[in-house]
Chains A and B, each alone.
Chain A
Amino acid sequence: GAVVSQHPSWVICKSGTSVKIECRSLDFQATTMFWYRQFPKQSLMLMATSNEGSKATYEQGVEKDKFLINHASLTLSTLTVTSAHPEDSSFYICSANRAGYYQPQHFGDGTRLSIL
């Protein structure tokens, strides 16, 4: 079946540093990938849609200069949290789906980001 891989799975950084998270589709090409964020005891919230070869589309309230998304190939999207602060600490999850209508999205195992 479809597999989506995320790296790293856990990262702890000092406040002010930038952190890059990678999302890869391992056995299919994905023109569109999605980034979600989940705070403790809350549900997943869509942050942005990552489109291969074009700019990402951000949900309302998500700062595009804070969360940089690059989708340079059909199997890789990256999310960079710039100048991270403690309030950015969260569980970040990506997803992708095979081409074709109504194919389900498959999720990575998430990246737990802790900013000290």
Chain B
Amino acid sequence: DAKTTQPPSMDCAEGRAANLPCNHSTISGNEYVYWYRQIHSQGPQYIIHGLKNNETNEMASLIITEDRKSSTLILPHATLRDTAVYYCIAGMYSGGGADGLTFGKGTHLIIQP
């Protein structure tokens, strides 16, 4: 899996958009970018994933740069419940099936009231 780099922590005001950056400059052509978040004492929650096109679902938007070396997760209207550690992961599949995920330290997003 390609190594990813994220800021260790970020603050965002409730109701504003939270933009979480991720650098994955060594990503290979067939590696997807996945975003998960982990709220304290729970298992990670899947948010979104993409290859090269921007993606949007009911939780968030994912913007991937044209060279695929970085991406941004956007939570459009952050709430206090969005406070969590957010992980950006590149990779996951090779050859015949899924690989285990390599988690970095992630970004601790704190939503301020």
A residues near B (Cβ < 8 Å) are 4, 6, 31-32, 34, 36, 43-46, 49, 59, 91, 93, 95, 97, 101-110, 112
Contact = CB atoms under 8 A, between A and B. Distances in A.
A5 to B, nearest CB: 10
A103 B98 CA distance: 9
Contacts of A104: 34, 46, 49
A46 B89 CA distance: 13
A105 B92 contact: yes
Interface residues of B, number: 25
Interface of B: 32, 34, 36, 38, 41-46, 49, 51, 87, 92-93, 97-106
B101 A34 contact: yes
B105 A43 contact: yes
Contacts of A43: 87, 103-106
A97 B51 CA distance: 18
